[in-house]
Every structure is written in C-alpha cells, then in structure tokens.
Amino acid sequence: MVRVTYGAPRRQKKVRYFKAARGFRGGRSKLWRTVKESMVRSWAYAFRDRRQRKRQFRRLWIVRINAAARMRGVNYSRFIAGLKKSGVPADLRVKRKRGKTTSVLYAEYLPSEADDPRPHAGRTRNGKGRRITRESSTGTKDPFQAGRRAIEWVLEDQRQARAKKHQEEEQKQFALGTYWERWFAREGRKRQGTRGEVRWKRDESLKWEGEGYGIKHQPWAQGSVERITAGDFEDYWAVLDQRRTPSNDMSGTKKQQKTLIRKLLKEARSDFPHLAIPDFPEISSQKQQVRHLKRDEWNRLLGKVVELSGGAARQDLSKADYEALPTHNALVKNARNWVDLYDTLNLMWFFHLRAEDLPRLQAQWFRDEGDEIVCDLEITKGDRDKHRTTHYRQDAVSNWRRMNLRRPKGLLIFPHTKRSEGETNSTLKRNWNKLLTYALDACDPPIPSKGMTMTNIRHTAFRLTMEEAPELGQEPGIHAFAANGLTSAEMLRATYLRFIEEEATAKRTRAKIKPGSWSLQKRVSLEDE
C-alpha cells in the first residue's frame, strides 16, 4: 500500500508550524522546510534559555540584595544566614501585584508541605494540581518598610500554623480513634483462640470502618472526645437514616453503634475521669411482623419432606440403616438429605434453635432425662457461654430418641456435609435452604417460598407455640420462655405477642358484628331507598 503523504493531519501540522513562525523574516516564515528547521531550533533555544533566564535573574537578585545589605553594614552571606536562623523562608518576595491599580506592595511565599495548614497543602484541583503561594498586603509603598512587615507577617503566619498543627495533634491524640485501638486490642486479646474470634473482629471493624456509616468517618470522631456533644449523635443518626430501606429501618444498626460509642467513651475516662457521655437521640424501631408458617402449612411441609424421603424420615433408623439409604449426586434426589432436613426442622421446632447453631450441634450435647430432653449448647450467638435449653412439647422426647438411634455421637445433622468454619454462606447453609425451598414449592397447594429460610422456621416455632400456649406470653413465664429460646421477653413481645394479640382482637370484633351490617351492599341499599 502506498504511503499517504497528504491529508488533513499533515496540513494541520504545517498550519501549526507556520502560525508559530509568524514574524520571522524572509523564507523562515514562508517556506515549509525552512520554517520547520527554524521552529525546531527556536523551540530548543527557548527550552534552554528559560533556565538561563532563572540563573541570570538569581545573579541579579544576589547583586541587588548584596548592595542593599552592605549599605547597612552586613554582607550577603551573613544576611541570608540570619534570615534562615530567624525562620524567614528564602523564597519570601515583596512585589507589586500584577493587574492591581494600587502601588501598595505585597508579600508572598510558599510554605513547606509539612507545615502548610491549608487543605491539600495549598494544592489546586482537590490536591491534584500545583501548589499556590500565600500572600498578604504590606500596606505600604516603601520597599524597606514593606520588607519588615513581610518578615513579621511570615513569622506570625508560621507561628499560627505551628499552633494549629500542635492543636490538631493533641486532638488526634485524644480522638475516639485512639480509644478504639486501645479497646479493640484489649478485647481482641480476650477472644484470642476462641471459636468466634474472626467473626467478632469482622463485625466490630465494620462498625468502626464501615464505608460512609462507620464511626471512624464522622467529623466528631476526628477531634478530642471532650468536644463530642448530643448534637453530633443527632447528625450521626441522620447519616444512618439515609441508608434506610423498606425492610431495614436501621434501628438495629443504631443500637449497635450506640453500644460501641458508649464503650469507647468509657475507655476515654482513663484520661478524662469526669467525662460525661452525651445523651443519644431516641431510637425509633418499626417492628414488622416476621414471616412464619401457619399451622396447616407447617404440617404440610413436614408431610412433604417425609414423602420426599420415601417415608424414611419418620422411621426408627439405625446408623447402618441411615448410611444404607439411597444416595444421588443431585441434592433433591438424595434420600439422606431429606432425613437430615426433617430432623433439622424438628430440632428448631422443639428447641427454638438459631440457624447458625445448627451446623455445630453435637449429639452428646443432648441429655435424655426420661420425660425431658435437655440440650447444653456449647457456643451460640455472640460467643455466649454454655446455654441450657429444653422443649415445651411432649412429643420432643420420642422425636429425639428416634434421631439418637442413627446418630448417638458426633455431628447431629447433615453429618456427611463439610463445614466451613466462620463462613455465613457455607455449603451447608445453601444446601438446606435449597431443600427447604424445593419442599415448599412441592407442597399441594404450594407454600410461598420466596425469602423463606431456616430463620423463618425459628419464627414459626416461637409464633405457633405462643399461639397454642397463651400462658407463655404472660408474666412471669414469658421470661423463662424467652431465656430458654436464647432471646429476651421484650423481643418476644415486639416480634410475636403484639401481632398475636392484634389478630385475636380483630377476630373477636368480627365475631360480634352481624353479617352484612357494615357491608357495601347494605350502604348501597340505604342510598337507593
């Protein structure tokens, strides 16, 4: 292919060269080859002489400063040495400001980046551009008087910058971050080697360093803890409210952040014994009714799981019988999986266990005491100590004895599935949620499975138990029932009992109203009359 030596780019290049050569004499501004040679040489000389000019001006300044200094009995070298000792920067200049109609002299200098108190050390474009000088009017036309005032201004400016830097360092020393590091290190040593160490560090670090909402990023956390006020917490609540969603009102996050802030402020009392903790704004919580299964849906779910297991889920299987069940690579075609799911659902139903407690359940944690089965959880939510829990339904005894036949020791549910220590999205969790969804969809009629997980099974157990035994929701029994389920009475009231009472009240009201008394049909008939 022939190389193209003409066209728009070539023409534009020539235009640039001819434009730059305007004012040259003769062919140096009219002939292309001559113009090109002239401009290449001229640009090279310009590059060199820009630096030569700086040298020449420096020589001129030294001569002038030396002459003025000798008029006052001192030579140039001693004068410059004295300026350095006094702290006056070498680049301090006194000059007339370009473009100003006044003849008043201005002083300007560029502080070092370390000592510059301005944002981004005086750099333009949010810290990405060049640094600009600091300047101030001397208020006089006299060069000598202007020089004295310039020196006074620079020294005062540097003094204020040092004072501000010292204040910021002092504030940083007693900032909330200092006490966070101290508290986090101490608490981390206490949990070193425990099962939930990694999870605790992750959760606490998110509270402190979470992008946008973390305490670390709030302006009031950068200064001294003495300056934190209740208004700062109101602003922080407003920041958290911006992250609200229809399913999350951020009340839980506010409570967690409040707890952490209080711990850090108590930690600060080692340096400030009389430090008062400001009042936090009220945390409004909008409790919505949690998703749960109704009694008929729960019975249909258990029946479908038994059907999918080929009837083996309710049989008294020995360990050998359990291992002899037909297996399949497909999750939903493995009969052993459905037996495990049936046992998992019943354990949550009888003992109100959390989903996160299920993977580590050991058969030896359960004790058969004749008419009662007692479970001693080794570790549960928040790495609490061993917790004792039992059942409120009598058929839990027969269910446990059936389960204990096949698994007298070791992992109790899904024993053949590998566990992922410390991972919330483990294989085990994904598997049982897939099985649960499949069983709900397979019911006749299907039970809505969207968003249904093992956590909803725990909600179902609490809700139906309190519906069928109303005395459990009354004082003082509600406290024992809540403690047995590893929760609080306040949580039971807000999550289940309130809605149970509302539904019961609505049902009683509907029963009192005669059919058709307030119907649309009745209203229409009255209007017709």
Domain borders along the chain are: 1-72, 87-173, 176-268, 300-512
**Residue 504 pLDDT greater than 50, yes or no:** yes
C-beta of residue 410 within 8 angstroms of C-beta of residue 418: no
What distance in Å separates the CA atoms of residue 35 and residue 48, rounded to the nearest whole number?
20
Q: 3-state class of 94 per DSSP? A: strand
**Residue 124 pLDDT greater than 50, yes or no:** yes
**Residue 521 pLDDT greater than 50, yes or no:** no
pLDDT (mean) for 137-166 = 88
Q: Write out the two tokens for 524.
A: 């229409």
| Domain 300-512 belongs in CATH node 1.10.10 | no
C-beta of residue 221 within 8 angstroms of C-beta of residue 177: yes
Backbone φ and ψ of 303, nearest 5°: -65, -40
pLDDT in tens, 252-299: 889 999 999 999 999 888 888 888 888 888 887 656 678 889 989 999
Q: How confident is the model at residue 25 (pLDDT cuts 50, 70, 90)?
A: very high
C-beta of residue 281 within 8 angstroms of C-beta of residue 293: no
Where in 365-510 does DSSP place strands (E)? 366-368, 373-377, 387-390
Q: Write out the two tokens for 226.
A: 């003495």
Q: How confident is the model at residue 39 (pLDDT cuts 50, 70, 90)?
A: very high
What distance in Å separates the CA atoms of residue 448 and residue 434, rounded to the nearest whole number?
14
C-beta of residue 414 within 8 angstroms of C-beta of residue 396: no
What pLDDT score does 527 carry? Answer: 41
Q: How confident is the model at residue 514 (pLDDT cuts 50, 70, 90)?
A: low
pLDDT (mean) for 94-102 = 77
**Residue 45 pLDDT greater than 70, yes or no:** yes
Tell which residue, 352, 355, 349, has the closest CA to residue 301.
349
Angle, to 10 degrees, between the axis of helix 427-442 and the axis of helix 454-468?
A: 60
Torsion of CA 379, 383, 384, 386, to 10 degrees: 20
Tell which residue, 393, 195, 174, has the closest CA to residue 264.
174
What distance in Å separates the CA atoms of residue 227 and residue 218, rounded to the nearest whole number?
13
Percentage of the chain exceeding pLDDT 90: 27
Starting at the edge strand found earlier in the chain, the sheet holding 134-137 runs 93-96, 105-109, 134-137
List alpha helices for 94-175, DSSP H. 124-127, 143-173
Tell which residue, 88, 104, 177, has the closest CA to residue 136.
104
pLDDT in tens, 380-413: 555 555 678 888 888 888 888 888 888 888 888 8
97: exposed, middle or buried (C-beta count within 10 Å: 0-12, 13-18, 19+)?
Answer: middle
Q: Write out the two tokens for 59.
A: 């020589």
What distance in Å separates the CA atoms of residue 158 and residue 163, rounded to the nearest whole number?
9
Tell which residue, 500, 499, 497, 449, has the closest CA to residue 300.
449
What distance in Å separates the CA atoms of residue 23 and residue 284, rounded to the nearest whole number?
78
pLDDT in tens, 317-334: 888 888 888 888 888 888
What distance in Å separates the CA atoms of residue 17 and residue 39, rounded to the nearest whole number?
7
What distance in Å separates the CA atoms of residue 63 and residue 26, rounded to the nearest whole number?
41
262, amino acid identity: R
Tell which residue, 159, 87, 174, 95, has the closest CA to residue 133.
95
Q: Tell me how far the alpha carbon of residue 251 is from its chain's centroid.
A: 15
pLDDT in tens, 431-483: 888 999 999 999 988 999 888 888 899 999 998 988 888 888 888 888 888 88
What pLDDT score does 492 carry? Answer: 86
Q: How many residues does the chain have?
A: 529
The continuous run of DSSP H or E covering 292 comes out as none
Which residues lie closer than 8 Å to 214 by C-beta, 6 or more apart?
206, 207, 208
What distance in Å separates the CA atoms of residue 467 and residue 487, rounded to the nearest whole number?
18
Mean pLDDT score of the chain = 85
List alpha helices for 1-111, DSSP H. 8-20, 32-70, 76-86
Neighbour count for residue 407 (Cβ, 10 Å)? 19
391: exposed, middle or buried (C-beta count within 10 Å: 0-12, 13-18, 19+)?
Answer: buried
